[in-house]
Every structure is written in structure tokens, then in C-alpha cells.
Structure 1
Amino acid sequence: MLIQVPGPAPPDQTEYTVLSPNAAMASLLVIVLVALPLYWVFAKLTRFRRNLKDAKSTGLPYVIIPVYPISLFWIISGKLWLKLINETWPDSWHKSWSKFLSPDWTWNELYDAHREMGSDVFLTVSPVKNTIWIADAEVIHQMTTRQVAFPKPIKDYKVLDVYGRNVVTTEGPEWRMHRKATAPGFNEKNNALVFTESIAQAQGMIRKWMDGSDKSSRTLDDIPADSMRVALHIISAMGFGVRLLWPGDVFSKEDKDSGLIHMGDKPVGDHTMTFEKALASVLDDIFVLMLTPRWLLKTAPVKGARGAWESYKNWKLYMEELLEKKLEAELAGEKTLGMDIMGALVKSATDEGRSDQKKSPGQLESNKRGLTDENIIGNSFVMLLAGHETTANTIHFALMELAMNPSSQRNLQKEVHTLFGDSDPKTWDYADSVNKLLGGMVGATMNEMLRLMPPVTNIPKSVSANQDQTIVVDGQKHTLPKGLYINFNVVSAHRNPKYWPSKGVSKVSGKPDDLDDFVPERWLKQDAADHVEEDSEEEDFGGFTGKSSSSQLFRPARGSFLPFSDGPRSCLGRRLAQVELIAMLAVIFQKYSIELAVDEWASDEEVAKMSVPEKLEVYAKAVKKAKAVIRTASSMITLKLNFGQTYIPARLVKKGEERFIQYIDNRPSSATTNTCVATMSSSSFLQKMRKAQLEELATDLELSPNGQKKADLEILIDSYLTRHPELSTDARVASFYKRRSTTHELSPVKKEQLSADVEKIAKVTKRRATKAADELTNSV
């Protein structure tokens, strides 16, 4: 038997491949390229599961969305993705959630999304973060009064530190220091000066528009730009004490005596821009300035960046020069008569009583002042930014809506005439006028415009980072997780049927309420008598800011009307902005009317030859297009049209020289159809009058005959008398009302005969008139 003794093992025959350094790097790169997306997907799924769990824990309705709309990726490419989804996917796949992917969804959807969700409070859940959307006034009020529990997300506002930390971009003790320093500049003395300045600037804008005409302006395609300009002029005077001039105006001794200064029409010293150009350019370039580091602005070989740097540099230099002058004047004890928010900041900052005050984080010691030079310039800038676009966009949209709603325009004109007659606006007294304007049709027009198109569509808040917070929704408690992002849906709150009086079905959207419509009359107490008023009477947290609505008008529930936000962080310049707006509206509509231009469809010569039905038809086209243009507005800091690309052409005309709006009556009514358009007069009283008699009567009623045909004069006077039943005691027209009353009491047989006679008279124009009336009913 053979026994084998183990010998040494045979050598290992396995071959090993040694990778070159380049191949090893390539392999590692492949692993990383595969692992990173997998990790990203895993992280997003994990975060989404946590977000979904948080949303469910609140007990509130929620919607799942696949991306976070405010991410950089989606801001850049979202429109393309949404277009692709809407064009290629069946509605059932995406309609319930894709609407929330647009950064402007609150303006696009109005109140519809909340109506569809069946709740005024709901969440959107994404793989990045959750957001709670609120259109419930009670919940909004709970949050605005609990500032510590629901703070402003300050990191979102850091981009506004363009020139320095300010009252908008700070929180806690530092914010209180800024608020205390800025509040004194907002007072009734300055409001009175703003009233006077707004009148002067509105007159300058009218002179530019009329361009020497005594009847009608040219067709204006620059109303948005001029609205921005008039607001810029006013904010320049009230913010810095600098008077800006319209073309052809001069800086007078009266201007100088008022304490205002003029910076000249040409750049001087180290400046490459005039004061007005620098001011306007800073606002035009605001997005570039907010998002681009200064070092990059200075060096970037891009024309837009270089222009933004020039405007930034010029405006800062102007501010430093003004600040030095105001500081010298304050230390010398000089008194100024003019309004000057920057001067008020300097005065507050140089208060000796502040020298021992504990400094907030980031605050520097500088001449024993609470605010540094940078703080003062930073606050001046943010006041400029906040006050400029709000006023400009509101006056612009108000003019357009009044052109589309002639009866509201006539009501406004009637009130202004009652208050001021034909007196020179320069003689109007602030103390005697302001409450009457705020509490009547002028104030109602302003409020309705701010309700319909709020300057800011969403107001962000957050749940405190340290602790969950509880809110009450419809009597039920709900716990919100710490750090949850909050948006007050201002557009929806302003259209929530729970809080607003309505006159019936919408002419704009066909919805059961008219809250998508421009109806200033809803603010008048006699029109809102059946709606509960709940607004607080208290003043706001330092400085005279005024209330959200005059006590003489409808007072919406606290939290339902947010054009100036609410609570401790509400807008300091609210009262000042209101004074600007009512002054400009009163000046414009004292002697003028606004009409949409119809140049796209007819020349002036063609309009002059048109019958009333033809005029109604062409104006209906202008109204329809104007409504569509307004819906293209988007939020670029504030809600506005994309100036330079979209605008609504219009004309300013002397009262009595109107071409269209005198034939349109869009008074709100509880009836389903509430637009009454005159196509012919059924009054035998007017039909029997000769043309010369009609012209004389029209003149007596302060209506312009304006070379109109007899039939058109009958319609004009009929429409006017129908709207003014108080004239029934006037001997000149008493028969009009008497015969109308008699007609209403005719037997059915006589009514039928009268109807047949009217039909025979009208059959030539009936088809066209009916079409025009229908279009106006659906669009005015």
C-alpha cells in the first residue's frame, strides 16, 4: 500500500490585472456618477416620506407635487416642463397637482384651488419641503399676532440687503431698533405734504399726456411707464426731499421754499447718471442687484451687469451725499419744512438718548448713533422699493379697470365734483379732504383695486424652528411641525366668499359670486350692509400707519384684506400710500375720463362716423383684449404686467368728450345679467324732440352733444336720465320719468304694441347692437 506524503503546493496560477492610474480614475468616476444620482434619489425619497408623514400629522388636506416650484432648477426650466405636461399628458394624469407647480399659481387660480380642495387651509408636499397655503382670515390673524411663533423667514429677504440691513430684512431686537428709527417719518404732517406733492405730480403727468390738447390725449401706450414715473417722483420727494420734474416743468422758488431740493438735469462730479436716472435704473436692475455679488457686477463682461453696477454705484453715491448734508443739517440744528424720510432716519440715529443702548448683532458704533450710515441708506432703499411699485401698479390698473367699468368711473367723478367742483387742486386742503376721499367712492376704488390685484400675491411666514405650533381651523386644533413654510394666499383671501359682500353672478368668470369683478361699490356701506364688519379699530405697532379701510367704508374681517400685510410687521407706509393714490385719482377724474383706445380696430375718422351700436361693438373688442392682457400679469416683486412687452392702450379725454363710455352702464346688480347697454331710446319724450332741443338738453345736463346724430343723442340722454332718478323733479325732464312710469302700467296688449313699434324702429341696428351688448355683458 502506497502512502503519498503531501508535498509543497503548486504555485498559484491566477493572473491579476493591474489598472493604470487613468483607468482607475475612470472606474472611480463611473462609480461616483452612478452613486450620486442614486444617493440623490434616495435622499429625496427619504425626505419626501418624512414630509408626507408631517403633512398627514397636521390633519389638514394636502396635495403631493413632484418638484418644489421655488427651486432654481424649476424657476429656470419650469415653464417648458409645464408646457410639455399640459400638451402631452391627459388631464386626468396631472390637473389635480400641476397647477401648483407654477410660481404664479395663486394669481392663475384665484380662489378656485381652495374651492376645489374644499378648504381655505391646505398643504403642498414635495421632496424638498412642505408649504401650507392659507386663505382663512381667522388663521392668518392668529399667525400675524403671534410673531415669535410664526416669524418671517428672514433668509428669504436677505436679497434686499442691497445697500445695507434694514427694517424688512431683520428680526428680533435688531428689527425693533430699525422699526423704532423708521416709524417717526410716517406721520400726518408728512402725509399732508405727500398729498400736496401727489397732486403736483399727477398734474404734471396729465400735462404730458394731453400734450397741449384741450379735448383728448393721443393714444397712450406709456401709462405703465408714466405710472412708474409719477410714483418715482413722489417717493423721491417724500423719501429724500428731492423734487423731480416732468418735461417742460421748472424748479420754482415755491419748490425751494417748501424745503425740496433739485439735483439738476445733468450728472455732476463723480456721477455718470442724473439722480432720476440712477433712481429709475436701480429699480429697473433690481433683480440683477439682488442676485449678483458686487465683485461680479464690477468685472462681468456683460452689458446688463455693467449697467446694473453703474446704477448701483451712482445711486449709492447720491445717497451718501444726501446723507452727509442731512447729518450736517441735523447736527447744526437746522429745521426743514419738507417731508423727508431719510432726514427722519438721521434725526432718529443722532438721538443722544440712544448712546447707551445695547447694540444688536451686526450693528456698528458710529458717532454714538443707533443706526449706521449703511443702515440709513439700506432703509431708504427698501422704502423706495416698497413704496414705488405698489403705488405705480395700483394707479395703472385702477385706470384700466375704470375704463372697462364706466359706471364706476362716473360714480367716482360725481363724488370728486361734489367735493371739489372745478377748484384748482393746488388749493385742496388735506385735513378737510382726506377722510372724505378715503371714506367715499375714491377710497372704495382704491380698496377694490388693492383687493382685486394685490401688490404682493403671497406673504411668507414660517413656523418657529424650535417648536411645533398649534392653530385653530374652523374650530378644530391642528399642530404644525416646526420649520414649516407658510404662505398667506393673498389673492384667495381677497376673493374668499366668507368675508366679502357680493352682488351676484360674476360677469368676468360666471362664478356664483362677483369677487373676480371690479366692483368698488361693494365697499360702500349701503351696498355692504348685509355683511358683517369685523376689522380691528386698533392702530398698528408704532408710527401712524392708518387702518386697512376707512371707518366710513366696509371693514373686512382682520386677515382677509392684506395689501399692506397685517400685524406687527405690516407696512409702515400704508397711510402714506393711500394718500398718494386718492390724491392722484381725484386729480385725474376731476376733469377727465379714461377710455380704452380702439386704434387696433378703427381709426379716429372711422369712429367719428360710427353709430352707437358700432361703437359698442368696437369697444367690446378693446375690453375683451384688455381683460386678457391683465390676466398675463405676473409677480416680479409685485404683481404687474411685463412692461415693454404688454400694455393696454388708452386715452385720457376731457369730461363730456368721451366717445364710448357714456353709452355703457355696468352698474352692479343682484340680477344674473347686470350689464345694461343702451342700443336705442324707447322714450317717446326724447324721440319727439328736435335735434336742436336734444343738443340743448344735453348741454344743460353737462353732456357733450359732440356732433352726434339725433338717435345717438336720444340714447345718450336716455342713459343719463335712467342713471339719475333724482332728476325726476326737474321740470325740463319730468315728462321723461312720468311717461316711463305710465309705460310700466300699460295693459299687456298696449305693451305688446309698444314693443312691436320699438322693434320696428330698431331692426336696422338690432343684430349688431345685440352682439355688441352680449360682448360687453361678458367682458365689461
Structure 2
Amino acid sequence: MQTAAELSLMLRSASNISAPRMQLYGDIPTQNRTVSVELVVGAGLAILFLYSAMKFFRPLVFFYRNLKRARAIGLPMKVMPFPPGSFSFFTFQILRRLEVLKPGTVLHQSLNMGRPDGYGYHKEMGDAFVTVSPAGLTLIVADPKVATHVNNKRAEFPKPPNTGVLINIYGRNVINTNGDAWRLHRRVTGQAFSERLHRDVWQEGINQARFMMESWLTSNDRNPDSLRVSEIERDALHLTLNVITGTAYGYPLRWNEDPQCASPTSLSYRAAMEQFTAHLMPIFLTPRWLLRLARKDSTRGRAWEAYTAFESYMRGMLDCQRARLGAAECTDENLLTALIRSEDQEDEKASKKMTAQEVMGNTFIFLFAGHETTANTLHYSLLLLAQRPDVQQRFLNEVDDIYEKAAQEGRCELDYDLDFSCAQWAFAIMSETLRLFTPTGITNKWTATDQPITFEGRTYVIPQGTRISISGTAVHQNPKVWGENAAEWEPSRWIIEDDDGGAQMLERGRPSAQMGSRLNGKSENDAYSGLSHAPFSVQQKQPPRPSSSAFAINFGTASANGLLIPAKGSFLAFSEGARGCIGKRMATVEFVAVMCTLLRHHRVEFEDDWSVERVKKVLSGRKAGSITLQPPEQIPLRFIRR
């Protein structure tokens, strides 16, 4: 062991040696400080260059890879700087609002691909083609067979990831869920859409149409012979909002009445919905906390006001329905009762309950989407009937026949079970209007794995991760499907003539046990559920000659009441397959009830300064690619006593 003296000597020696070394070492950074800074700066610039190069070349690498994948498919290709989808849609909205996007330009068409512009791109590219961009591949479809194949294979072609996130405004719902979650939402909401509900919708549609006529009378100095309506769009939205609120939500309203509201608001029920619809873009795109901080008189401030007001009305209706259920006063089953029970009781198949947020999400989506689409159809149908007096006269004759038959049977009111299925021309008008002004412009899917599709006799393999856009607007204006006059509004194409040149008549009354034949593996009641509550017996596999001469051959089948049942994939207004619109028949019942009531004693005409040519120009310039499908300009109508 070393002694203390030896250790002390060693420490002193070390200190004597290290001092000059430390001084010498300290001189080195001083002399080379400039070199070190240059090295750091150089390294930083090199990293920045490499990062920039990677960011610049990465899209090119992805584009090259996607181009190779697209060529391997074998379908026609179109190179795009950005893919069809949410990015294109919202870029379109922003540029349109800045008034820098000119209609008809390449940029306009590219951003709006597959939306209400119709069949345009498919004339050049064919009924199935692939777009290529650095973000990926998109298969755009206007072929009915491919559309049906994709829509009917839910597992192979699910919704793309994050699809529907934008409509997750108040919570997840039946539209933006997949898999087991979607099945739960569908089971819960589907039980509400029964024949009981459809009877209520029929009567409420009649009631609200009368309320609307009374409001017109008031504004026209009680002159029933000539009712001028300057805002038919707004009134149609008001009517359909009241119908769905009174039936699916169990809260009947007078014309200017509001449902229960959970918290104070300065907006009426109708105004809250109007302001909400007018500010959809900021509500979709702006975080809630930022909306809350916005000035009240700003666009985002008004969006926040509408968002909170509409939520309060929905919560108020839910609270009211819960109170009725708790007091055992509620015997009717409607959408709200089904949603409330799903929050309180566990689903047997899913072994789970809906969350409060999911209940609110479904309350919103059915109320918002369910009223606007029907309102748009009513609005456009009235404009088109005023444009086509010949079609309107056929419909008026049918309305008179229905009311006359009801009177002969001792009824002063139309009845859902007895009269709904007799409105042949009403069905045709609605279907044709939906064909040209379809609310479902595009249905988006994607390939979970590599998937084969058959198109025009050949099989193509669509690689995993490819987005598939089924363009309903393109299918509906495809001349190979709907004939050379596919772009024209012609309701007679839905009316099938018999061998004697007359339309086939509906077999009235309740269906017999013998009316259970099958069609394409599906009962006629399912195949045509949107147009009748009773099954149809199909008289022949191929329909007789349609009354419209320019029409595609072997298109569909004929129902017993002389209406066309389109082939699968040919009519996508309500989509199709398992994820088809659950409210299809409800919308049809409402449309027929309202139209028969509005035109019971009146015909609809344009104001004198509105020519047919002027109206056509306005309708052709509708808001293609916008969130709603309203005309860009108000077209006043006049209801003339007949």
C-alpha cells in the first residue's frame, strides 16, 4: 500500500504536468473555431439539401412506382397531379370561392372529376379508366356491371381509410363506419324504417305540404288562384326537415314551430339548419376550438353559432324522447327511440352498446342528409315540370284519377296502403329527376387486397390500395345504358308500354300468397322496394318497348304496374348493395305524398320573365362539385289554380 506522503507527492506532480497541457489544449479550439463553425454550417446545408432533394424526388419516385402499377393493370390511364378525392374536392371548393376557377378549364375538370359534370371524361377514356398521381391510383367507373361487382363485395372493396371523417361532425355514424361497427349502426337504425314509419311519412308529407300552401296563401294576399313562390328551394328544405322531424324523430311540428332545444339559442330550428348548411365548409375544415374563438360576426363565428344551435335542438329532441320512454308514454318506434335504447341496452350480436357520441352522430346524419336530398328532388322536379308542360299534364291527369277513385270509395283523404302505388307518373318523375340530379355523385371504395374485376369481357387485376370511384353521375348519363338521349330529362323512359301502346296498370289491393316469384335471386319486393310497399309480379323477363324511343336495349325488367326496374348498377341514386340508402322508400313515399298534395288543385309555371331557355341555362350551370346540388340562382315559380 502507498503511504499518504507518496500519494500527496504524486498529486502535486500530476498538477504540475497537467497545467501546461491544459493551457496547450485550450489553445486548439481558439485557433480552429472558424473551421469548426464552417464544418457545422456545411453539415447543416448538406442535411438541408438532402432533405429538400428527398422531398422533391420522393413524389417522383412514388409517381414512377404508381405508373408502373397502373400500366400493369392494362386499363386506359390518365396522369393527374393530384388524385380524385377529398384533396381535389376541397381544393375545388376553395378556388371556386376565390373565383379563380373557371368552368370548363382543364383544372376545373380535373378537380371535379367524376362529380356532377357527368359522362364527359368517359367519352375520351372509356367506362373504366385509371388515374395516376404521386398519391396513388384511382379507378373511375361508369360501367354498371363493375359498379355492381364492387358494391356487392363489401369485404373485398371496403370504404377507404378515413373516408367519412369529415362527416364525423357530432360523432361516428352509419355512413362513416366499417366492419362490425357499421353492422351495429345498421341494425340499430334499420329497425326504425318500417311500414309503420312509411304510413306516418305519407300523412306528415300531406300535412306539411298543406302548411306550405297556407304560408304561400298568406304571402300572396289570400289569392288561391295564383301563388307566387320566390324561394321554392328554401321552402322545400323547410318542408322535408319538418317531415323527418315529425316522423323519424317523433316530434310533429307546425310550419313555423320549433322542437325542444337543450340550451338557449337565437336561431330557430329552420334557421339553424339553413345556417349550418351555408357554413358546411368551415365546419368541416376548422377545428372546433378555433370556431369557438372566432368573432360572432365572422364566417367562422356564424358557423360555430349554427353548429351549437343545431346540436342543442338535437339534444333537446333526444331529451324529450328519453323522458317519454322513462314515463312509459312512448308506444311508437322511431329512429330516436331505437338510438336511445341502443345506448342503454347491449346489442345481442355485437355484445356492446352505442356510445352517446355515436347516438348523436346518427341523429345528425339522418336528419341532415335525409331531409336535404328529398328537398332537392322536390325542387328540381317542380322546375322540370314547369319546363315540360306535356309531362306535367300527364302527372296532373294521374293525380285527378287517384283523387277521383278515392272519392268513389268514400274517402276524402289519400291513403298510403291504397293510393301510394297508383302514382305511376310520380315514380317516373322522381326517378328521372334523381337520375340527372343524383345526390350520390360518387361512391368511394378501395381494394383491401389485389382484386380482379371483369370489364367488357376481360379480367383486370386492381392492385391493393387502389381507390375506386363509382361515378353515379357518369353511369346515369352513359348513352350505352340510357340511350342517346341520356342527358335529357325524359320521365317517359320509366313508363313501359304494353303491346297495345298503353301503359300497364298496377294490380291494386293486398298481395296474394301466389305473388312470391323471384327475380335475379331477389324478391320483387326487395328489387323494387323504393317504389311500392307491395310485391310486383313480373310479367316477362324483358320489358316491352319503353315509351321513349331512344333507349338502351335489354336494360331491365318491367313491373306489373308498367314501371321500369333498372338492371343492377344502372341506377345509383340510392347507391346499392348492403350499404345502399336505408331511407330509399321513405324518401319515395314523402315525394309522392307531397307532389300529389301540391298539384291537387294547381299547375306550376315559370314567371313571365323566365323562359324555358333561361331556366335550362341556369340548371346546366348548377353547382357542380359543390356539397349541395341546388341551382346557382333562384328560379321563382307560380302555382296557378286549374
Interval of TM-score (by shorter of Structure 1 and Structure 2): 0.7 to 0.9
Query: Out of 474, 484, 492, which is 1:492 matched to?
Result: 474
Give distance in 2, aligned partners of 1:53 and 1:428: 62
CA contact (8 A) 2:142 2:478 kept: yes
3-state DSSP of counterpart to 1:182: helix
CA contact (8 A) 2:605 2:637 kept: yes
| Counterpart for residue 453 of structure 1 | 437
Asked if residue 68 in structure 1 is aligned to residue 54 in structure 2, the reply is: no
CA deviation map 1:628-668 (0-9, x unaligned): 111222233343334xxx2222222112xxxxxxxxxxxxx
Query: Out of 346, 353, 358, which is 2:351 matched to?
Result: 358
| Counterpart for residue 130 of structure 2 | 123
CA deviation map 1:648-697 (0-9, x unaligned): 22222112xxxxxxxxxxxxxxxxxxxxxxxxxxxxxxxxxxxxxxxxxx
* Mapping of residues 186-225 of structure 1, within 5 Å: 186-210=193-217, 211=220, 212-218=222-228, 220-225=229-234
Distance 1:635 1:356, change over 3 A: closer
* Mapping of residues 129-140 of structure 1, within 5 Å: 129-140=136-147
Q: Higher RCO, 1 or 2 (CA under 8 Å, sep at least 6)?
A: 2
CA contact (8 A) 1:153 1:461 kept: yes
Asked if residue 469 in structure 1 is aligned to residue 465 in structure 2, the reply is: no
Corresponding pairs, count: 559
CA contact (8 A) 1:181 1:349 kept: no
3-state DSSP of counterpart to 2:364: helix
What amino acid is aligned across from residue 295 of structure 1 in structure 2? Answer: W
| Counterpart for residue 345 of structure 1 | 339
CA contact (8 A) 2:180 2:350 kept: no
| Counterpart for residue 488 of structure 2 | 517
CA deviation map 1:319-367 (0-9, x unaligned): 3333233234334433335x73212322454447x379533xxxxxxxx
1:68 Cα deviation after fit: 3.3
| Counterpart for residue 576 of structure 1 | 586
Give distance in 1, aligned partners of 2:101 and 2:287: 33
1:392 Cα deviation after fit: 1.0
Give distance in 1, aligned partners of 2:134 and 2:75: 18
What amino acid is aligned across from residue 383 of structure 1 in structure 2? Answer: F
| Counterpart for residue 154 of structure 2 | 147
| Counterpart for residue 10 of structure 2 | none
3-state DSSP of counterpart to 1:333: coil
Distance 1:26 1:583, change over 3 A: farther
Which runs of 5 or more residues in structure 2 are unaligned?
1-30, 502-517, 533-555
1:423 Cα deviation after fit: 7.3
Give distance in 2, aligned partners of 1:564 and 1:549: 19
| Counterpart for residue 322 of structure 1 | 317
Distance 1:85 1:444, change over 3 A: closer
1:82 Cα deviation after fit: 8.3
Distance 1:84 1:345, change over 3 A: closer
3-state DSSP of counterpart to 1:427: coil
Identical columns (%): 30
CA contact (8 A) 2:343 2:356 kept: no
Distance 1:351 1:407, change over 3 A: same
| Counterpart for residue 366 of structure 1 | none
1:123 Cα deviation after fit: 1.1
3-state DSSP of counterpart to 1:486: strand
CA deviation map 1:531-562 (0-9, x unaligned): xx9877448999x8778999331111101101
Distance 1:308 1:459, change over 3 A: same
Distance 1:76 1:462, change over 3 A: same
Distance 1:66 1:271, change over 3 A: closer
CA deviation map 1:245-304 (0-9, x unaligned): 325xxx8xxxxxxxxxx637xx78644434443344334333332222221221233622
Query: Out of 620, 631, 634, which is 2:620 matched to?
Result: 631
Give distance in 2, aligned partners of 1:591 and 1:341: 34
CA contact (8 A) 1:199 1:426 kept: no
CA contact (8 A) 1:51 1:125 kept: yes
* Mapping of residues 713-752 of structure 1, within 5 Å: none
What amino acid is aligned across from residue 68 of structure 1 in structure 2? Answer: P
| Counterpart for residue 336 of structure 1 | 331
3-state DSSP of counterpart to 1:42: helix
CA contact (8 A) 2:130 2:140 kept: yes
1:564 Cα deviation after fit: 0.7
| Counterpart for residue 652 of structure 1 | 639
Give distance in 2, aligned partners of 1:269 and 1:172: 36
Query: Out of 427, 432, 435, which is 1:443 matched to?
Result: 427
1:576 Cα deviation after fit: 0.3
| Counterpart for residue 594 of structure 1 | 604
Query: Out of 50, 57, 73, which is 2:65 matched to?
Result: 50
Using the TM superposition, name which of 312-321 and 130-139 deviates more: 312-321
| Counterpart for residue 631 of structure 2 | 641
3-state DSSP of counterpart to 2:481: coil
3-state DSSP of counterpart to 2:191: helix
What amino acid is aligned across from residue 346 of structure 1 in structure 2? Answer: I
CA contact (8 A) 1:237 1:340 kept: no
Asked if residue 434 in structure 1 is aligned to residue 420 in structure 2, the reply is: yes
CA deviation map 1:748-774 (0-9, x unaligned): xxxxxxxxxxxxxxxxxxxxxxxxxxx
CA contact (8 A) 2:174 2:186 kept: yes
Give distance in 2, aligned partners of 1:150 and 1:522: 32
Which runs of 5 or more residues in structure 1 are unaligned?
1-14, 88-94, 252-261, 360-369, 503-512, 600-618, 656-780
CA contact (8 A) 2:275 2:306 kept: yes
| Counterpart for residue 373 of structure 2 | 390
Give distance in 2, aligned partners of 1:76 and 1:195: 37
What amino acid is aligned across from residue 63 of structure 2 in structure 1? Answer: F
* Mapping of residues 168-179 of structure 1, within 5 Å: 168-179=175-186
Asked if residue 418 in structure 1 is aligned to residue 411 in structure 2, the reply is: no
Provide the aligned C-alpha RMSD in A.
3.5
| Counterpart for residue 479 of structure 1 | 461
Using the TM superposition, name which of 314-323 and 397-406 deviates more: 314-323
| Counterpart for residue 34 of structure 2 | 18
| Counterpart for residue 506 of structure 2 | none
TM-score (norm 1): 0.65
CA contact (8 A) 2:190 2:582 kept: yes
Distance 1:348 1:527, change over 3 A: farther
Give distance in 1, aligned partners of 2:184 and 2:111: 37
3-state DSSP of counterpart to 1:317: helix
Give distance in 2, aligned partners of 1:200 and 1:26: 77
1:385 Cα deviation after fit: 1.8
| Counterpart for residue 41 of structure 1 | 56
| Counterpart for residue 510 of structure 2 | none
CA contact (8 A) 2:251 2:317 kept: no
Using the TM superposition, name which of 567-576 and 413-422 deviates more: 413-422
CA contact (8 A) 2:92 2:108 kept: no
CA contact (8 A) 1:63 1:123 kept: yes
What amino acid is aligned across from residue 562 of structure 1 in structure 2? Answer: L
CA contact (8 A) 1:154 1:171 kept: no
Distance 1:586 1:31, change over 3 A: farther
1:480 Cα deviation after fit: 0.2
1:178 Cα deviation after fit: 0.9
1:598 Cα deviation after fit: 2.6
CA contact (8 A) 1:545 1:572 kept: no
3-state DSSP of counterpart to 2:226: coil
CA deviation map 1:87-112 (0-9, x unaligned): 8xxxxxxx6xx56413255422x223
What amino acid is aligned across from residue 378 of structure 1 in structure 2? Answer: G
Give distance in 2, aligned partners of 1:579 and 1:33: 64
3-state DSSP of counterpart to 1:45: helix
CA contact (8 A) 2:92 2:625 kept: no
* Mapping of residues 616-695 of structure 1, within 5 Å: 622-633=611-622, 634-642=624-632, 646-655=633-642
Give distance in 2, aligned partners of 1:82 and 1:69: 20
| Counterpart for residue 240 of structure 2 | 231
What amino acid is aligned across from residue 214 of structure 1 in structure 2? Answer: P
Give distance in 2, aligned partners of 1:595 and 1:494: 27
3-state DSSP of counterpart to 2:603: strand
3-state DSSP of counterpart to 1:576: helix
Give distance in 2, aligned partners of 1:356 and 1:152: 23
What amino acid is aligned across from residue 330 of structure 2 in structure 1? Answer: K
CA contact (8 A) 1:185 1:345 kept: no
